[in-house]
Amino acid sequence: MKVPDCFVDGVSTALPPLAITQSEGAAFLKKNYSGRLRASGIKLMERVFAHPSIQSRRFAFSDPSALIDEDPDKRAERFARWALRLSAEAAGGALKKTGLEPGDVTGLVVNTCTGYLCPGISTYLIEEMGLSRSVKAYDLVGSGCGGAVPNLQLAGALARERPGGAVLSVSVEICSCTFQMGDSASLIISNALFGDGAAAAVVRAKPGGFAVLSSLSRFAPEYREDIRFVHRNGQLHNQLSARLPGLAAETAGALTEELLEANGLKRGDISRWAVHPGGDSVIKAVQQRLGLAGEDMRCTRNILSALGNMSSATVWFILEEMEREGLRPGELVVMLAFGAGMSAHACLLRKV
């Protein structure tokens, strides 16, 4: 492995204040949508919300009634307001953890897949945080749940370009802004799975946090229809297929093998695994494909249980939890995320 020239530090997360348990969510949906669902849809909803893998989630609204037939314009406004609020909080936390000021930031990369702004979220963050008006800023869309790692790849390139600077890598997802309800299993499962949240980290040439040793991506566009957003009546609807767990496991597994081989490593050389929680069945399939123990997926399952799947931001929450628990210098961590496309992205990190 080459001598690292890029480091990730100050991982910080942000959540909206409203927490809703799975039982509360199921009761709300039954009360307000039972008349729109067939008996089979209601039965599926009861089953997936009762699954023990998720206990609660956080949401970017003050009252869940805001979701009922939410006006598209109000939804767009809600996305803009909360995406800025949460991303600014996470980014500010990352700067605080690393002892940096807004004026130290030379680059900014923001990714999301749950809403669209033009100009992008990055420009709002520049204004909100008082960043330099000449900062190099980029907005990434369309990477789905795997978006944090492509973000990190670009942030790393910016950090290497200006070794004296610091780049903010921000992932923010307001998944509730894609809420739809119908008899489709994709929609019912999505409504039981996704939550809102944001995360950020500082990427720079100065040692600290984690050294970025290597990263790879793998795309399987032939499986595009198995996991994606589609537009219906001008709004996003999540589309998930029944064969998704196996496809995610195979794509992520092949990518991980490639990453380890490229760095002369074996699975046993990796101390910790920060694996995106696509849901209970996906976790099980990925765990089996990678040959991991239950303990390897503990932080993944802890975050899924407490907060659900926050799309691209989730893998940062898992890495932050690992840091809270304590990592020894030199330990290797694989950060593995996957999602729309089908795509998978992996990053090899070493604790400094």
Cβ contact 334:348 at 8 Å: yes
Structure tokens at 182: 């119908």
341 — pLDDT class (breaks 50, 70, 90): confident
Structure tokens at 344: 């998978």
Query: What digits encode the pLDDT tens for the residues 156-196?
Result: 999 999 999 999 999 999 999 999 999 999 999 999 999 99
Domain 7-204 adopts which CATH fold?
Answer: Peroxisomal Thiolase; Chain A, domain 1 (3.40.47)
226 — pLDDT class (breaks 50, 70, 90): confident
Residue 67: partners with Cβ closer than 8 Å, 6 or more residues away? 61, 176, 179
pLDDT > 70? residue 29 = yes
Provide the pLDDT for residue 328: 97
Provide the pLDDT for residue 241: 87
Burial of 100 (C-beta count, 10 Å sphere; 0-12/13-18/19+): middle
Start and end residues for every CATH 3.40.47.10 domain found in the chain: 7-204, 210-351
How far apart CA 304 and CA 255 sit, in angstroms, is 23
pLDDT > 80? residue 3 = no
Provide the pLDDT for residue 1: 63
Residue 212: partners with Cβ closer than 8 Å, 6 or more residues away? 4, 6, 7, 8, 152, 156, 203, 347, 348, 349
Domain 210-351 adopts which CATH fold?
Answer: Peroxisomal Thiolase; Chain A, domain 1 (3.40.47)
